[in-house]
Amino acid sequence: MYELRCEQKICAPLDEVFDFFKRPENLGLLTPPHLRFEITSAPLESIESGSVIDYRLQLLGIPFNWKTLITDFLDRREFTDIQQSGPYKSWVHQHRFAACNDGTMMTDVLRYSLPFGILGKIVHLIFVRRQVHQIFEFRRAQIARIWPSVTD
């Protein structure tokens, strides 16, 4: 199991930030274009516990269908998306939000593993680890574009 933890301070009110992240259509804004991300089904307005989001994307040029289940939804505080089907053996992404003096502190905790035993470990070292970090760096940059006064 691998873990990636990212924190980002956003100089915007908690309500505004959380509302952005609970709308499925905003996933595409936070996903690098080379992944060719496309939502195929999702809640119309916002997620809640039990919501399912289906989408397609490409990894290494290979198309994948991915199904995510939203759990642990606490309005204005946190939610978790869990891969139900997709390219990973497991993928659990916790999104946490907390008001701070001049905005919102957002914390992401991603825990994931790959299939195929030792081959999966090799692929992680060669490609996946770097790819996951690049996705989160793209996301950080996009958030900085959406809320220009973002600080680290």
pLDDT at 56: 97
Q: Has residue 150 got a pLDDT over 70?
A: no
Q: What percent of the chain has pLDDT over 90?
A: 84
Using alpha carbons, list the distances in angstroms from residue 86 to 56, 66, 134, 136: 9, 4, 19, 19
Kindly report the average pLDDT of the chain as a whole number.
Answer: 94
Cross-strand partners of 29 = none
Confidence of residue 3 (pLDDT cuts 50, 70, 90): very high
Q: Has residue 149 got a pLDDT over 80?
A: no
Q: What is the pLDDT of residues 75-124, one digit of tens each?
A: 999 999 999 999 999 999 999 999 998 899 999 999 999 998 998 888 88
Asked whether the beta carbons of 31 and 53 are under 8 A apart, the reply is: no
Strands (E), 86-152: 90-100, 103-113
Helices (H), the chain: 14-21, 117-123, 129-146
* The CATH number fitting domain 2-146, selected from 1.10.10.60, 3.30.530.20, 3.30.1050.10, 1.10.10.10: 3.30.530.20
CA distance 22 to 75: 9
Asked whether the beta carbons of 106 and 78 are under 8 A apart, the reply is: no
Domain layout of the chain by residue ranges: 2-146
Most distant pair of Cα atoms in the chain: their distance: 46
The least confident of 31-45, 85-99, 137-151 is 137-151
